[in-house]
Amino acid sequence: MESQLGFIENSFDLRYTNWVREALNELPDCFTITDPYISGHPIVYASNGFLKMVGYSRDEVIGRNGRIFQGPETDRRSVMEIREAIRGERGVRVNLLNYRKDGTKFWMLFEMCPVFSKEDGRVINFVGVQVPILRRRRLSGFGIVRSEINLSDDGGTVVRCCRREVCSDSILELRRASAPELVSSHGDREVEINEPCEASELEKTKASAAISNILSVLTHYSELTGRLVCRKRCCLTGNQRLVASLNISLGRIKQSFVLTDALLPDMPIVYASEAFLKLTGYAKHEVLGQNCRFLSGTDTDPSMQFQIKECIRCQQACTVRILNYRKDGTSFWNFLHISPVRNASGKVAFFVGIQIDDQCNNRETHGLKPEMRQLSVVGAVKVAVRSLSMGASTS
């Protein structure tokens, strides 16, 4: 677990430097930052305000997907709206019922936006801001009384007329203790917490302002590394847009593989799985944009390289055993399978290359032989590409 946290934090720091955390910690807002390039689309940063709001520690949140804050009463339609926004790489704003660590429910306004690489327009992160929603409460007696309880900056209690109140069991108890005269002993009727509620304009403004502040910090610190980010994406080719949308689907595949763009000169790598990075020792930013030849070295057989080149030229699948090299210079025998991947129109858009360390070649994983594992990856990639490209062509 610690090694996974280290990998996640290192990936975040490489783009923004480790100083960015200090700057983000100064912001008072409740927010998280996620990385769609890492398998499972995990949280890579969580603000102090967010951790305090949900009751989790930092180590319990980093590396986890935001689903851990959802529960049985969370509206599935709102969750699907967020998923579709991630898939479409666009912003979204929804009202959402979430759960704290202790199981208590609370309503929040969730606003999310993508962060793009200024260099190639790919989505680097998603920023999600959470603003607690104040709700209306109805009290029966001589009539309906609408009121709200807030905590003042100095810790005192302020009771005032309003149409909303915080959806929190602790706040309700505090209200009863501080203003019992407003609570009738005859059938106290309050709106159920799982009943949908709307965010106010003030809450929406607060969320938008938080997004702007966070993006300003990320933009500034990305300039220090030379790996600039921005809120609006630059122009992308059709394949680049498709790859960006594929990130989440491809991240679910646990085998070592890369995806290369058949429509760009020299067929650069546009996606590399976590297993590939672990096998070769390279970081993601050191792999993307490279041709697969970068794994070759002094003793790599030129005839194997020629065989791969000819299969690609003829748009045919091939399997070879080739000597490759890791980042640290150590060599390994790569049991490599390469296959063309066609889009919905039938045109070869990508090539997928699946690597297996030949030392592990004779070991079966989950009952599957290496050849079957490679073919399962090819099938999963082809299904993902065709389904997404079909959706893009009809939208």
Check if the beta carbon of residue 293 is closer than 8 Å to that of residue 300.
no
**DSSP label of 85:** H
Instruction: Tally Cβ neighbours within 10 Å of residue 80.
Output: 10
The per-residue pLDDT for 59 is: 92
The per-residue pLDDT for 198 is: 85
Q: Across all residues in the chain, what is the average pLDDT?
A: 80
CA distance linking residue 230 with residue 391, whole number of Å: 26
* pLDDT tens-digit readout, 208-252: 999 999 999 999 999 998 888 988 876 555 566 666 667 777 888
Taking residues 14-29, report their average pLDDT: 92
The per-residue pLDDT for 362 is: 52
Taking residues 186-202, report their average pLDDT: 64
Taking residues 333-349, report their average pLDDT: 91
The percentage of the chain sitting over the pLDDT mark of 70, rounded to a whole number, equals 75
Q: Where in the chain is the domain with CATH 3.30.450.20?
A: 2-132+198-230, 238-394
Taking residues 116-133, report their average pLDDT: 89
* pLDDT tens-digit readout, 51-87: 999 999 999 999 999 999 999 999 999 999 998 888 8
CATH number for the region 2-132+198-230 comes to: 3.30.450.20
The percentage of the chain sitting over the pLDDT mark of 90, rounded to a whole number, equals 49
Band of pLDDT at residue 391, cut at 50, 70 and 90: low
Check if the beta carbon of residue 126 is closer than 8 Å to that of residue 110.
no
Instruction: Report the range of poorest mean pLDDT among 180-189, 244-253, 288-297.
Output: 180-189
Instruction: Tally Cβ neighbours within 10 Å of residue 305.
Output: 15
Nearest to 61 by CA among 24, 100, 26: 100
Give me the count of residues in the chain.
Answer: 395
Instruction: Report the range of poorest mean pLDDT among 70-74, 137-141, 371-375.
Output: 137-141
The per-residue pLDDT for 395 is: 46
The per-residue pLDDT for 193 is: 62
**CATH number for the 238-394 domain, one of 3.40.30.10, 3.30.450.20, 3.30.870.10, 3.30.420.40?**
3.30.450.20
Q: Tell whether the model's pLDDT for residue 192 goes beyond 90.
A: no
Q: Tell whether the model's pLDDT for residue 381 goes beyond 80.
A: yes
Phi and psi for 4 in degrees, rounded to 5? -65, -40
The per-residue pLDDT for 292 is: 93
pTM over 0.95: no
Q: Tell whether the model's pLDDT for residue 264 goes beyond 90.
A: no
The per-residue pLDDT for 144 is: 40
Give the helix ranges, DSSP H, for the chain: 2-16, 19-25, 48-54, 58-61, 76-88, 169-178, 201-225, 238-251, 274-280, 284-287, 302-313, 370-394
Check if the beta carbon of residue 313 is closer than 8 Å to that of residue 222.
no
Instruction: Tally Cβ neighbours within 10 Å of residue 40.
Output: 16
